[in-house]
């Protein structure tokens, strides 16, 4: 095959490293290959990887470029080894390949002083913390400045004000149109009066005023102006603005014969020009005050609040980086780090991104704005296609391409080139593109590289608009056509091998302009037995499984959120409204933290059991760092996961839950508390943007359904354009970067004077972008483009030249229509395609069994299923017994659950868990090599700082300071100071064998240090805020814990050849503990109320979470002396062995309704307590 028609341009762009380039690359032209080749040539020439930065539009594109560069280097080294290639591969990790936001974040982090960028700043889509306060200050300032204006601006809601403030912040590089002086009420009132006089003067020229249609139509506006003429100036303007639209189009109303010559025409014109103009001037004047004060007062307050809270949006990264680089000294220092800057998808950048690139690539001596100087030789390599600029809603501006191209060519003549070869699509498709998009700005005909394919290049599938409920005809036609293609063995060309092969479902990509019907189409494919994946979008959060999972998480986070609780009960647990009503009737409540969910004597409801599960999960939420295990347990125990897995779309539902789990972990890495995670997920669900929620496994044979806006960088053998209808937007913010200004409308009444003209121009620009949408969508196809044609598919107007015109009335339409030489389209009537065999059952193949089960009496269930579940539970227990168990050091030292809470439950001089954390953190941060006096001097300020961050009270802070200072006075500090090294807060895990199976002991060593020069002898130190006396129970626990630390050190430090010395360091005598309170805190919440009753009746305090059978089982609470215990969820065989050893067990299952009350009564008998006492209600208990 001959070389591409533009090979010389490709070679020049790759090899001429001393020239900068702006390469216009159409769809399928291989721009990524050119970008990769340029990077490889730079590396081959000896440019260090760390001096190259390549900026891509998405993280996925960055990963793809990284892979191609590495593969290219490996291949080149095999063909011709060189020192440069070896060095490039060895240091490839230094090559910058990232999105512009990641790149800017790195620059800001490397220059924190110049950029005023706080380390640890949280970046995301969260709302600025200072917006509400800034708006309050704005309203206050307006009231003080102009009470009359404040009266009108009081009609602006906080929502509208917040939107205007966010718009000003997002476009703060532009000047707001209309910003200016305060309203001159007298001048405005005079203009209103002049117009009123003009109206009445002309009206007096009508000879028949009572009969005139023109006067009748304008009577409300005439009355308005008459009223205004009687008011004081400010009230007159306020009345005019609150009236609404005053423009009145009279058309032919009125008879000229009843008017003086020319008077009627003047009267009609008055209501189209002067009347609305005076209202527009009043609006503009008020708008100027509103915008001026917002920009002057609210914007700085909001930005300062974000900096103070160390929060930033993604746009802030660009603004702050650009602002930093405008300083010539800083720019020179930062630019010196890079020899070459490459940018992909330039058409998707906004001016801020282009400015950052141009400033970094220019010569150090270049001054002025980013368009004032071109890049240094070879400093900038930009690739893009203005025809694919479709992200206007993300601040992308197609004019940026032209500006950047001029910047490049100013210092690199001939650097603006265009790639014409299309490697993606068949000749028939390329011919159709050239014919259809010939009138698109920047379009140049492409040349096809591939040979002809077996499929018709373009198919127009005629259908109907969706109406009513049920299966819509366009959905059925689309699925039926694609099913027919697959069933007929249609051939496509494999992208990797270049050989024909039978088409499969993963060869299909469906593109839509909105997400509204994505899941409807996916469900139809699933009913056909064809896997389908919705690749992203707002509808991810609208799917039942995701909405219900989020409701469950919201309920766990906030027990008072009754809406979330009820939604979870209905959707996850399957309760009916009658079930919920019965629960309330029995004395229940939605506040699941209340243990007693039924009135005394009433039978516990199934709803109460479900609320008990939520109560247990909430407790566990505060014992683990992630929401994911709680979500898994909620879905498992509610059985929602089991039901969803049986549905036809079960795999898709489970895949969505996998996406949600991954999303939760990503959010958890960026947030600071569990509640913040839930709040952030709620924000993502409300945004409804094109955020990348979808994940597609390329190994799956699944149809990909996605939006046009997520299709960039994607391609498929067969592309279907589905539901191509979208309403025009109604923007309230219109930027004009050619003039450096932004038009912003607060409300309908408060807008710039020229808003109507600007709005009309914006609609034209939007229509031009819609044409680019269709270019992007169509050019994803490799072998066939299927256009679903419907009457209301308004986006298809941009494909009009590529679609056949309707035939003359009564004339037959040929199946194949030639639009131009070499451009042929096949037309298919959707009704002519045989229906696809769609599944109609809810549970595929199981509906009859489910119906039969539902007809059974409540509570009877399915015995066979119950037996299977019991068998699976036994298998799970057996598998668990054979696995290594993880224990904390505290649990291993005591043989019970929850040890480690003791240290924070005391009274007296203790500092509690939060205080203990501050003490440990202070001792970690202090330099223990320093002298005692220096440490004693520095410690108080450090503790105060840490305590303030943790929200400790002044009293508790003082106790923490006292603890740290007394620890620093300990004799061991002299030995620590003399040690050659210190290991602080060192995590560990090691295997400890046992008869019940191996156990992994994990924990964190406070401090360890070698005590000899050879580092064969070590000491382990444990800081304690209390040091119990020798022989006490707590002291014994601490010593066992230290022994485990020593064992961990012996197993993990190679040079340590003997058991380390253990040292317990703490300042206080043993603190008093309340074992009763500890037991009530540690026991299962479902049993806490019953345990309190038993203790009140005289039962001794039990051991909570006692391990037995060498760790094989755990008793929930045990009275060891009496050998009486509650065996909660203990395996039957283990319980039988314990009973054989003399234990008297009360067995219970946590899933059973009311198990706690039943177990309490049985334990009262086992402990020989009077039942009347055991059941006595303690005043206030459990409340």
Could you tell me if 1000 and 885 are in contact, meaning their C-beta atoms sit under 8 angstroms apart? Answer: yes
User: Phi and psi for 375 in degrees, rounded to 5?
Assistant: -75, 160
Mean pLDDT of 308-322: 85
Name the most confidently modeled range: 437-446, 831-840, 890-899. Answer: 437-446
User: Is the model's pLDDT at 899 over the cut of 50?
Assistant: no
User: Is the model's pLDDT at 89 over the cut of 50?
Assistant: yes
Mean pLDDT of 196-203: 92
Q: Both ends of the chain: CA-CA distance in Å? A: 83
974 to 713, 929, 930, 931: CA distances (angstroms):
64, 9, 10, 9
Assess if CATH 1.10.287 describes domain 1075-1174.
no
Could you tell me if 92 and 73 are in contact, meaning their C-beta atoms sit under 8 angstroms apart? Answer: yes
Largest CA distance in the chain: 119
Same fold? 448-532+702-734+760-832, 885-1065: no
- Ranking 17-31, 235-249, 336-350, 960-974 by mean pLDDT, the lowest is 235-249
User: Is the model's pLDDT at 106 over the cut of 50?
Assistant: yes
pLDDT tens digits along 928-980 = 988 999 999 989 999 998 888 777 888 889 988 988 998 898 888 999 999 98
- Ranking 383-397, 749-763, 987-1001 by mean pLDDT, the lowest is 987-1001
- Ranking 199-208, 1013-1022, 1094-1103, 1170-1179 by mean pLDDT, the lowest is 1170-1179
User: Is the model's pLDDT at 862 over the cut of 60?
Assistant: yes
pLDDT at 997: 57
Name the most confidently modeled range: 59-68, 241-250, 414-423, 864-873. Answer: 414-423
Structure tokens of 112? 């924190």
User: Is the model's pLDDT at 891 over the cut of 90?
Assistant: no
pLDDT tens digits along 1069-1100 = 434 456 787 678 678 877 888 898 899 888 99
- The confidence band for 35, taking pLDDT boundaries of 50, 70 and 90, is very high
Quote the percentage of the chain above a pLDDT of 90: 33
- The confidence band for 846, taking pLDDT boundaries of 50, 70 and 90, is confident
* Separation of alpha carbons 660 and 540, rounded Å: 9
Q: How many CA atoms lie within 13 A of 260 on its CB side?
A: 8
- The confidence band for 425, taking pLDDT boundaries of 50, 70 and 90, is very high
Give, in words, the CATH class of 885-1065: alpha beta
Mean pLDDT of 674-687: 80
Mean pLDDT of 836-847: 82
Torsion of CA 315, 319, 321, 322, to 10 degrees: 140
Helix (H) or strand (E) holding 717: strand 716-721
User: Is the model's pLDDT at 16 over the cut of 90?
Assistant: yes
Question: Which distant-in-sequence residues (6+ apart) come within 8 Å of 286 by Cβ?
Answer: 149, 152, 153, 183, 237, 241, 749, 750
pLDDT tens digits along 524-547 = 998 888 888 887 655 678 788 999
User: Is the model's pLDDT at 896 over the cut of 60?
Assistant: no
pLDDT at 2: 79
Q: Which CATH number fits domain 539-687: 1.10.486.10, 1.20.120.1200, 3.40.640.10, 3.90.1570.10?
A: 1.10.486.10
Identify any residues that bridge with 98 across adjacent strands, giving them in sequence order: 55
Mean pLDDT of 502-519: 92
- The confidence band for 771, taking pLDDT boundaries of 50, 70 and 90, is very high
Q: Which residue in 138, 151, 161 sits closest to 185, CA to CA?
A: 151
* Separation of alpha carbons 594 and 1180, rounded Å: 12
- The confidence band for 724, taking pLDDT boundaries of 50, 70 and 90, is very high
Mean pLDDT of 637-647: 87
- The owner of tokens 């950047």 is 404
CA gyration radius for the chain? 37
pLDDT tens digits along 686-720 = 765 444 444 344 446 889 999 999 888 899 999 99
pLDDT tens digits along 1008-1020 = 899 988 888 889 9
- The owner of tokens 């909430």 is 618
User: Is the model's pLDDT at 224 over the cut of 70?
Assistant: yes
Domain positions in the chain are: 9-121+314-419, 127-312, 448-532+702-734+760-832, 539-687, 885-1065, 1075-1174
Q: Where does residue 951 fall: left (phi above 0), alpha (psi -120 to 50 degrees), or beta otherwise? A: left
- Ranking 134-143, 270-279, 893-902 by mean pLDDT, the lowest is 893-902
- Ranking 151-160, 282-291, 301-310, 681-690 by mean pLDDT, the lowest is 681-690
Task: Residue count of the chain, please give it.
Answer: 1183
Question: Which distant-in-sequence residues (6+ apart) come within 8 Å of 557 by Cβ?
Answer: 621, 674, 675, 678
Q: What is the DSSP string of 273-296?
A: THHHHHHHHHHHHHHHHHHHHIII
pLDDT at 857: 66
* Separation of alpha carbons 364 and 931, rounded Å: 49
* DSSP 3-state of 834: coil
pLDDT at 877: 60
Q: What is the DSSP letter of 394?
A: G
Averaged confidence pLDDT in the chain: 84
- Ranking 110-114, 647-651, 712-716 by mean pLDDT, the lowest is 647-651
- The confidence band for 1028, taking pLDDT boundaries of 50, 70 and 90, is low
Q: Which CATH number fits domain 448-532+702-734+760-832: 3.40.50.2000, 3.40.50.10070, 3.30.1340.30, 3.40.50.300?
A: 3.40.50.300
Fold designation for 9-121+314-419: Rossmann fold (3.40.50)
- The confidence band for 755, taking pLDDT boundaries of 50, 70 and 90, is confident
């Amino acid at each position: 095959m001959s070389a591409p028609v533009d090979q010389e341009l490709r070679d020049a762009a790759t090899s001429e490293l001393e020239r900068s380039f702006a390469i216009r690359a159409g769809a399928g032209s291989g721009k990524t290959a050119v970008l990769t080749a340029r990077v490889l040539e730079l590396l081959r020439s000896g440019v260090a990887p760390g001096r190259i930065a390549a900026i891509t539009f998405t993280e996925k594109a960055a990963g793809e470029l990284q892979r191609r560069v590495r593969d290219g280097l490996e291949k080149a080294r095999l063909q011709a080894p060189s020192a440069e290639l070896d060095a490039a591969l060895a240091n490839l990790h230094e090559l910058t390949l990232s999105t512009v936001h990641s790149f800017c974040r790195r620059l800001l982090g490397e220059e924190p002083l110049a950029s005023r960028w706080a380390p640890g700043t949280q970046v995301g889509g969260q709302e600025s913390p200072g917006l509400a306060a800034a708006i309050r200050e704005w309203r206050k300032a307006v009231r003080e400045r102009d009470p009359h204006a404040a009266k009108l601006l009081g009609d602006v809601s906080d929502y509208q004000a917040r939107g205007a403030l966010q718009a000003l912040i997002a476009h703060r590089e532009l000047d707001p149109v209309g910003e200016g002086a305060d309203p001159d009420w007298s001048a405005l009132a005079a203009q209103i009066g002049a117009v009123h006089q003009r109206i009445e003067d002309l009206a007096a020229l009508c000879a028949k005023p009572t009969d005139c249609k023109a006067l009748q139509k304008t009577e409300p506006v005439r009355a308005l102006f008459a009223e205004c003429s009687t008011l004081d100036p400010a009230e007159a303007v306020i009345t005019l603005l609150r009236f609404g639209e005053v423009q009145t189009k009279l058309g032919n109303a009125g008879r000229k014969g009843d008017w003086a010559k020319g008077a009627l025409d003047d009267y009609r014109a008055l209501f189209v020009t002067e009347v609305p103009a005076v209202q527009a001037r009043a609006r503009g004047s008020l708008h100027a005050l509103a915008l001026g004060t917002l920009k002057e007062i609210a914007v700085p307050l909001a930005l300062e609040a974000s900096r103070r809270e160390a929060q930033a949006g993604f746009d802030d990264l660009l603004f702050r980086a650009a602002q930093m680089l405008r300083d010539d000294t800083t720019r020179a220092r930062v630019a010196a780090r890079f020899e070459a800057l490459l940018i992909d998808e330039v058409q998707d950048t906004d001016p801020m991104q282009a400015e950052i690139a141009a400033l970094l690539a220019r010569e150090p001596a270049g001054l002025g704005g980013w368009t004032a100087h071109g890049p240094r030789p070879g400093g900038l390599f930009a690739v893009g296609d203005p025809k694919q600029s479709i992200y206007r809603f993300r601040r992308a501006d197609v004019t940026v391409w032209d500006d950047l191209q001029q910047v490049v060519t100013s210092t690199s003549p001939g650097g603006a080139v265009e790639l014409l070869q299309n490697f993606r699509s068949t000749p028939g498709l390329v011919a159709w593109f050239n014919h259809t998009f010939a009138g698109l700005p920047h379009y140049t005909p492409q040349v096809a590289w591939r040979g002809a394919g077996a499929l018709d290049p373009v198919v127009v599938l005629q259908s109907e608009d969706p109406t009513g409920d049920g299966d819509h005809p366009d959905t059925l036609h689309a699925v039926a056509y694609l099913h027919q293609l697959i069933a007929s063995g249609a051939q496509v060309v494999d992208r990797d091998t270049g050989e024909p092969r039978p088409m499969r479902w993963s060869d299909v990509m469906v593109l839509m302009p909105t997400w509204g019907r994505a899941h409807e189409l996916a469900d139809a494919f699933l009913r056909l037995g064809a896997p389908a994946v919705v690749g992203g979008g707002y509808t991810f959060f609208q799917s039942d499984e995701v909405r219900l999972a989020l409701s469950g998480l919201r309920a766990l986070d906030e027990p008072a959120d009754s809406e979330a609780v009820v939604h979870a009960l209905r959707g996850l647990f399957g309760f009916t409204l009658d079930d919920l009503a019965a629960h309330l009737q029995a004395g229940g409540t939605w506040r699941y933290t209340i243990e007693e969910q039924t009135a005394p004597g009433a039978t516990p409801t199934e709803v109460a059991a479900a609320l008990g599960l939520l109560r247990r999960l909430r407790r566990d939420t505060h014992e683990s760092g992630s929401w994911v295990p709680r979500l898994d347990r909620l879905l498992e125990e509610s059985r929602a996961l089991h039901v969803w897995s049986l549905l036809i779309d079960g795999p898709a539902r489970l895949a969505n839950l996998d996406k949600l789990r991954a999303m939760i972990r990503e959010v958890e890495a960026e947030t600071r508390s569990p509640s913040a995670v839930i709040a952030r997920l709620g924000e993502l669900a409300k945004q409804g943007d094109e955020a990348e929620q979808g994940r597609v496994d390329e190994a799956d044979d699944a149809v990909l359904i996605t939006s046009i806006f997520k299709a960039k960088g994607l391609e498929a053998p067969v592309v279907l354009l589905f539901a191509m209808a979208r309403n025009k937007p109604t923007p309230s913010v219109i930027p004009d970067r050619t003039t450096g200004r932004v038009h912003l409308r607060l409300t309908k009444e408060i807008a710039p004077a020229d808003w109507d003209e600007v709005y009309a121009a914006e609609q034209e620009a939007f229509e031009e972008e819609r044409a680019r949408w269709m270019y992007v969508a169509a050019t994803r196809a490799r072998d066939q483009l299927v256009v679903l044609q419907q009457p209301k598919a308004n986006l298809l107007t941009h494909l009009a030249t590529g679609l056949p015109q309707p035939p003359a009335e009564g004339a037959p339409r040929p199946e194949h229509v030639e639009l131009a030489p070499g451009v042929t389209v096949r037309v298919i009537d959707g009704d002519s395609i045989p229906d696809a065999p769609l599944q109609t059952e809810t549970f595929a193949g199981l509906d009859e069994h489910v119906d039969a089960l539902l007809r059974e009496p409540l509570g009877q269930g399915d015995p066979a299923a119950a037996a299977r579940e019991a068998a699976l539970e036994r298998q799970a227990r057996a598998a668990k017994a054979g696995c290594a168990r993880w224990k904390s050091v505290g649990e291993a030292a005591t043989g019970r659950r929850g040890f480690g809470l003791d240290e924070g439950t005391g009274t007296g001089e203790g500092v509690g868990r939060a205080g203990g954390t501050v003490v440990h953190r202070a001792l970690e941060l202090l330099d223990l090599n320093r002298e005692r006096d220096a440490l004693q001097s520095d410690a108080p300020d450090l503790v105060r700082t840490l305590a303030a961050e943790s929200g400790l009270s002044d009293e508790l802070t003082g106790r923490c300071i006292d603890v740290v200072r007394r620890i620093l006075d300990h004799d061991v500090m002299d030995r620590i100071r003399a040690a050659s090294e210190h290991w602080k807060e060192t995590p560990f895990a090691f295997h400890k064998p046992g008869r019940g199976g191996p156990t992994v002991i994990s924990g964190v060593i406070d401090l360890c240090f070698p005590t000899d020069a050879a580092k064969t002898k070590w000491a382990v130190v444990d800081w304690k805020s209390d040091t119990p006396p020798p022989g006490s129970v707590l002291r014994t626990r601490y010593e066992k814990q230290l022994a485990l630390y020593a064992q961990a050190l012996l197993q993990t430090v190679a040079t340590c050849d003997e058991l380390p010395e253990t040292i317990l360091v703490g300042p206080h005598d043993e603190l008093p503990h309340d074992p009763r309170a500890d037991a009530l805190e540690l026991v299962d919440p479902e049993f806490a109320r019953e345990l309190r009753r038993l203790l009140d009746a005289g039962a001794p305090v039990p051991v909570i979470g006692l391990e037995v059978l060498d760790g094989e089982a755990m008793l929930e609470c045990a009275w060891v002396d009496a050998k009486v215990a509650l065996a909660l969820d203990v395996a039957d065989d283990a319980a039988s062995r314990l009973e054989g050893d003399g234990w008297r067990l009360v067995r219970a299952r946590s899933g059973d309704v009311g198990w706690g009350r039943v177990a309490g009564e049985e334990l009262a008998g086992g402990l020989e307590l009077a039942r009347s006492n055991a059941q006595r209600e303690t005043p206030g208990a459990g409340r």
